[in-house]
């Protein structure tokens, strides 16, 4: 969602802000803007559409000189995407400017209050209320005004603020929206995410909820909401800067698909020691783990799909009942969390608003929460009782691929560990599973080698109106993710169905030529899925089957087959998802879309 970058230092702020915002493009946005203090006053430029419009408008920042500034990419929530509603916003005397990520929930009441005091509003945004409220409280001391505003606003926010009367500093504050602060020898930075400033510094501070950061050109201070100075630890970012570059690939999404062998290895290899699974980051003894009676997995989107696979794997191996919930449902359904239950929240960004709320709800009810998270230092990583990191590195494409693959592996490891400590699998079974796990990266490489074949197949379907994905058990969870990958970036309507459920209604949608992708990797369900293939075939469907090597007789019923190497059936998702990701990607490319920036979507969904 919205991206924020700010800079104060010796260099030209506009250069750094435009560069930083370009690194945040993956978050999704519809307009952009920046405010720079030129030595006398604050100047603002804003534009609708891609960042390059703002770059052209400002001659790559040259028309906006100055060493202090804030910039923003906006993903519209309140008010249509236009220049007026784009950030930064001004107070009425144009002496205070602010950028915001999040939603101010009580903005209507605050707006009414300010209107009665004579304030007029130029925009339809919730954000403008905050800058006018700052104006209202500002009597010469920015910190006093900010702390008063923080007591009045409700909702989620990350703010970057400049006061023209105090141009030697930038103020930054957050609650439930991400914000980091960085420091280099040439100045200080604020950003919504690390890639925005990785080119300039690896030294960052994670701003906690309702903390205020004050950035000077050569100093950095932190305060509590009561304006008391606090100390914070600097974190050194280990990420390879190249990880946030396209590295010759046409899209980040393609690059990230190719990074999956490494991601999978990085997620499991540090956790396999002397033939055993050691998950130090769990902070749980084997006895505590063995005592878990029930698991609730809570997540959104693809992370939820990983959770659905996790349910099958954990239940099958460890024989522990697992419920999987969409975070947006879980948080409002007053869930029953029983004695001995553990909650697992899964999130790439670690900032997804609904998942974070589910975590808090669970903790409030007294339950242990394990986060499976990719972004180190994110809100979920900080608030969960324990964190299992998926070491996927920065994921830039909006549609997840490598982080999803890493989530699967984290769940397999957890399932195997739990099964072992509960005595449900012995050393021989564990060894065999570990061996299978170790083969997955090279098997993914093999599948990636089919790229050209899948591209050709995808090109035949760029005109498709509806595509169905079917499967049973783990194959159903693969269908869910395959379908989402396709629809979110190619805008082709697609549905995933449990194959056995088709004839309870959906089969009436199948007509001559409809593409049905049938996933049949689970040996005990294979024959059942083949029957479903026959059913859709006889209604005219064109069937793409994804099955394991050796199942050649499927060619009698399917029109096109993609074979997956053999592995433990519980790990099949890690392999079968690869051609489906590639298919979605190439349908999108074939239609001429930008697969990295699908319309209406944001990478990190920080509002509910």
What are the angstrom distances between the C-alpha of 287 and each of 146, 158, 345, 559? Answer: 48, 41, 22, 51
Helix (H) or strand (E) holding 607: none
Residue nearer to ligand F6R on the CB measure, 88 or 301: 301
Active site residues: 2, 603
Phi, psi for residue 466 in degrees, rounded to 5: -135, 135
Residue nearer to ligand F6R on the CB measure, 43 or 604: 604
Q: Using an 8 Å Cβ cutoff, are 336 and 388 in contact? A: no
Residue nearer to ligand F6R on the CB measure, 180 or 545: 180
Q: Least separation, in Å, of the C-beta of 108 and ligand F6R?
A: 28
Strands (E), 432-488: 466-471
Q: Could you tell me which residues come within 8 angstroms of residue 420 by beta carbon, excluding any fewer than 6 positions away?
A: 276, 277, 430
Based on DSSP, count helices (H) and strands (E) in the chain, helices before strands: 18, 27
- Residue in this structure with the two tokens 């009810």, named with its chain if needed: 365
First to last CA, the chain: 11
DSSP state of 290: H
Residue nearer to ligand F6R on the CB measure, 166 or 603: 603
Alpha-carbon radius of gyration of the chain = 25
Say whether 387 sits in a helix, a strand or coil. strand
Q: Least separation, in Å, of the C-beta of 192 and ligand F6R?
A: 13
Residue nearer to ligand F6R on the CB measure, 19 or 256: 256
Q: Least separation, in Å, of the C-beta of 565 and ligand F6R?
A: 25
CA nearest neighbour of 172 among 196, 201, 146: 146
Phi, psi for residue 62 in degrees, rounded to 5: -60, -30
Q: Least separation, in Å, of the C-beta of 158 and ligand F6R?
A: 16
Phi, psi for residue 84 in degrees, rounded to 5: -65, -45
Q: Using an 8 Å Cβ cutoff, are 26 and 403 in contact? A: no
Residue nearer to ligand F6R on the CB measure, 142 or 178: 178
Q: Least separation, in Å, of the C-beta of 588 and ligand F6R?
A: 12
Helix (H) or strand (E) holding 98: strand 96-104
Q: How many residues belong to the chain?
A: 608
Residue nearer to ligand F6R on the CB measure, 35 or 484: 484
Q: Least separation, in Å, of the C-beta of 300 and ligand F6R?
A: 4
Cα(42)–Cα(388) distance, integer angstroms: 44
Cα(108)–Cα(499) distance, integer angstroms: 48
Interacting residues with ligand F6R (CB under 6 A)? 300-303, 347-349, 352, 355, 399-400, 484, 488, 604-605
Residue nearer to ligand F6R on the CB measure, 19 or 488: 488
Q: Least separation, in Å, of the C-beta of 39 and ligand F6R?
A: 41
Residue nearer to ligand F6R on the CB measure, 46 or 311: 311
- Residue in this structure with the two tokens 């915002």, named with its chain if needed: 21
Q: Least separation, in Å, of the C-beta of 20 and ligand F6R?
A: 20
Residue nearer to ligand F6R on the CB measure, 66 or 482: 482
Q: Least separation, in Å, of the C-beta of 598 and ligand F6R?
A: 9
Cα(348)–Cα(221) distance, integer angstroms: 30
Q: Least separation, in Å, of the C-beta of 408 and ligand F6R?
A: 13
Query: Sign of torsion, CA 569 570 571 574?
Result: positive
Tell me the residue nearest to ligand F6R as measured from the CB: 301
Tell me how crowded residue 428 is: count the other CB atoms within 10 A of its CB.
8
Q: Could you tell me which residues come within 8 angstroms of residue 581 by beta carbon, excluding any fewer than 6 positions away?
A: 257, 401, 482, 485
What are the angstrom distances between the C-alpha of 78 and each of 81, 230, 459? Answer: 9, 34, 38
SS (H, E, C) 483-543: HHHHHHHHCCEEEEEEHHHHHHCHHHHCCCCCEEEEEECCHHHHHHHHHHHHHHHCCCCEE
User: CA 497: distance to chain centroid?
Assistant: 25
Q: How do 42-48 and 3-9 pair as beta strands?
A: unpaired
């Amino acid at each position: 969602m919205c991206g924020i970058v700010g800079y104060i230092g010796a260099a030209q702020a506009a250069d750094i802000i435009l560069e930083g915002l370009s690194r945040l493009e993956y978050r999704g946005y519809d307009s952009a803007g920046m405010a720079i203090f030129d030595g006398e006053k604050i100047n603002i430029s804003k534009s609708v559409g891609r960042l390059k419009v703002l770059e052209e408008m400002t001659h790559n920042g040259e028309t906006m000189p100055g060493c202090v500034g804030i910039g923003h990419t906006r993903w519209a929530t309140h008010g249509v995407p236009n220049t007026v509603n784009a950030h930064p916003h001004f107070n009425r005397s144009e002496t205070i400017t602010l950028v915001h990520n999040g939603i101010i929930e009580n903005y209507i009441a605050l707006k009414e209050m300010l209107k009665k005091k004579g304030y007029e509003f130029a925009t339809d945004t919730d954000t403008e209320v905050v800058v006018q409220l700052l104006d209202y409280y500002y009597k010469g001391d920015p910190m006093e005004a900010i702390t008063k505003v923080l007591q009045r606003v409700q909702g989620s926010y990350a703010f970057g603020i400049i006061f023209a009367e105090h141009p030697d500093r930038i103020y930054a504050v957050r609650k439930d929206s991400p914000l980091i602060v960085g420091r280099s020898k040439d100045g200080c930075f604020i950003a919504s995410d690390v890639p925005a400033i990785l080119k300039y510094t690896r030294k960052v501070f994670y701003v906690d909820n309702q903390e205020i950061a004050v950035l000077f050109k050569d100093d950095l201070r932190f305060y509590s909401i009561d304006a008391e100075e606090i100390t914070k630890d600097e974190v050194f970012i280990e990420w390879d800067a190249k990880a946030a570059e396209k590295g010759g690939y046409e899209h980040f999404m393609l690059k990230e698909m190719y990074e999956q062998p490494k991601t999978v290895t990085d997620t499991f290899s540090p956790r396999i020691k002397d033939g055993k699974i050691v998950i130090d980051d769990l902070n749980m003894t084997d006895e505590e783990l063995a005592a878990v009676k029930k698991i609730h997995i809570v997540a959104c989107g693809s992370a939820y799909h990983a959770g659905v696979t996790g349910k099958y794997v954990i239940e099958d191996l460890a024989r522990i009942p697992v419920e999987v919930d969409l975070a947006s449902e879980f948080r409002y359904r007053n869930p029953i969390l029983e004695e001995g239950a553990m909650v697992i929240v899964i999130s790439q960004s670690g900032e997804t608003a609904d998942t974070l709320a589910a975590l808090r709800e669970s903790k409030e009810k007294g339950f242990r929460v394990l986060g499976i998270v990719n972004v180190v230092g994110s809100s979920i990583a900080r608030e969960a009782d324990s964190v299992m990191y998926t070491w996927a590195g920065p994921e830039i494409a909006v549609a997840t691929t490598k982080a999803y693959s890493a989530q699967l592996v984290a769940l397999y490891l957890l399932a195997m560990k739990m099964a072992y400590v509960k005595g449900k699998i012995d050393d021989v079974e564990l060894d065999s599973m570990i061996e299978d796990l170790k083969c997955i990266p090279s098997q993914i490489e093999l599948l990636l080698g089919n790229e050209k074949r899948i591209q050709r197949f995808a090109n035949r379907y760029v005109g498709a109106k509806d595509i169905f994905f079917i499967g049973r058990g783990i194959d159903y969870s693969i269908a869910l993710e395959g379908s989402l990958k396709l629809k979110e970036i190619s805008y082709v309507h697609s549905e995933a169905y449990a194959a056995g459920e088709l004839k309870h209604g959906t089969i009436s949608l199948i007509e001559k030529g409809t593409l049905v992708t049938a996933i049949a990797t689970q040996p005990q369900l294979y024959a059942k899925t083949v029957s479903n293939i026959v059913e859709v075939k006889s209604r005219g469907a064109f069937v793409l089957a994804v099955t394991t090597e050796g199942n050649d007789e499927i060619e009698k019923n399917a029109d096109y087959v993609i074979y997956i190497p053999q592995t433990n059936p519980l790990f099949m998702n890690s392999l079968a998802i690869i051609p489906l990701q590639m298919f979605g990607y190439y349908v999108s490319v074939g239609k001429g879309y930008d697969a990295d920036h699908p319309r209406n979507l944001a990478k990190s969904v920080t509002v509910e």
